[in-house]
Amino acid sequence: MSATPEQPHALAPPEPASAVPTSLRDLGLLFFRLGATAFGGPAAHIAMMQDEVVTRRKWLSDERFLDLLGATNLIPGPNSTELAIHIGFERRRWAGLLVAGLAFIVPAMLITGAFGWAYVRYGSVPSAQWLLYGVKPVILSIVVHAIWGLVPKAARTLPLRVLALLAAALAAVGINELTILFAAGLGALLMRRVSAGPRDPQRKLAPIIPIPMLPVAAGTALMGAVTLPGLFWVFLKIGSVLFGSGYVLLAFLRADLVQRLGWLTEAQLIDAVAVGQVTPGPVFTTATFIGYVLAGPDGALLATAGIFLPAFVFVALSGPLVPRLRASANAGAFLDGVNVASLALMGVVTLQLAGAALVDLPAGALCMVAAVLLIRFRVNATWLIAGGAALGLAVHGIPWRAGL
């Protein structure tokens, strides 16, 4: 497909980056491919989206991509899925919102559902350590490349660089991600108001992105038999209120499904989280696996719908506000702070990923080779991940040392 003209580097305008709309087919194909190949969690997914929609296709400018990322971090739910939905809305409005979101979710849902079927039939999760060995170093290079390209746009002033360092330090000591994002936004807003002086005509504070919440009840069910409505409601509640990483998802699942309802054992929960980690696409498709284990295909569909439905609602409510926020000097300053803090959080996650990915010299060499291929030859991230998986299979997945 041909790339649309690149937008000038300016503050994000009220309309999409290109006057030529992206076809729904192109949106669907891109996000279906990402959903089927994007391993490594939200940081890796975001990096792959930046490479595809900013660097390769030029559907968005770096500045608009950062604004969407910042807005995504201010609402509950799966960040990378919500970013995909935001991008779909930017390119084709409401139809694009649905196509991009569903295309990103469906392949991961099908793969995770297949794991659920195998788990119910055979009682165990197939080992995929060979896959992670080859894929993680490649993902590390992709994420570092994305952060390196976005930092000059986000941390373009000294105060924003200071905010980035403070946000990274707070994240490293375990401060809640949402607290860091709001603190950085308010810090950037305060610095702008101080530097603008008392005669600033836009001194009145513009409204910030609201955090919508679907109505949820504290006690949605009592311990007992699994029901399809109860399963849907549990995952709808989790999708409506969950901020943070996959570890936060683990805490919610354990509190509801193991401790309160007694629907899962601790061992089953650990297996479910393991499946979410070794399959591509959104980590929230862990819900698909749990739904299948508890209630078969119908349970898998309802659990998936429940946990992802709030993401579509939140983006539909907040997405149209992003251009208006950027048009306001005060709200734009707040968003600048959120953007730079979002990249700082990605940086901290990347350091944690490095510890898990670079386990030996071959893994380090693979990371360096992937970086050269990505930067010098611009090899598509999907092919790099496929190559990493193949190498992991060759090294750890095939018992060649036994003479087979």
50-101 pLDDT tens trace = 999 999 999 999 999 999 999 898 888 888 999 999 999 999 999 999 999 9
pLDDT of 257 > 70? The answer is yes
Percent of the chain with pLDDT over 90: 39
More confident residue, 14 or 33: 33
Given this model, what pLDDT does residue 199 score? 52
Residue type, 243: F
More confident residue, 255 or 101: 101
Band (127; pLDDT cuts 50, 70, 90): low
CA distance 91 to 54: 12
pLDDT of 15 > 60? The answer is no
Chain mean position to CA 157: 26
Q: Which class for 329: exposed (0-12), middle (13-18), buried (19 or more C-beta within 10 A)?
A: middle
Q: Are residues 393 and 130 in contact, defined by beta-carbon separation less than 8 angstroms?
A: yes
Q: Which two tokens stand for residue 68?
A: 């969407």
Band (397; pLDDT cuts 50, 70, 90): low
Question: For 190-194, what is the mean pLDDT?
Answer: 87
Q: Are residues 96 and 88 in contact, defined by beta-carbon separation less than 8 angstroms?
A: yes
Weakest mean pLDDT among 138-142, 199-203, 299-303:
199-203
Given this model, what pLDDT does residue 357 score? 84
Band (312; pLDDT cuts 50, 70, 90): very high
Q: Which two tokens stand for residue 118?
A: 């195998």
How many other CB atoms are found less than 10 A from the CB of residue 6? 13
Q: Which class for 268: exposed (0-12), middle (13-18), buried (19 or more C-beta within 10 A)?
A: middle
Weakest mean pLDDT among 56-60, 234-238, 330-334:
330-334
Largest CA distance in the chain: 79
Percent of the chain with pLDDT over 70: 83
- What is the value of pTM for the model shown? 0.77
Q: Which two tokens stand for residue 81?
A: 């899925």
Given this model, what pLDDT does residue 234 score? 94
Question: For 118-129, what is the mean pLDDT?
Answer: 76
Question: For 167-180, what is the mean pLDDT?
Answer: 86
Q: Are residues 84 and 101 in contact, defined by beta-carbon separation less than 8 angstroms?
A: yes
Nearest to 349 by CA among 35, 34, 41: 41
Chain mean position to CA 130: 24
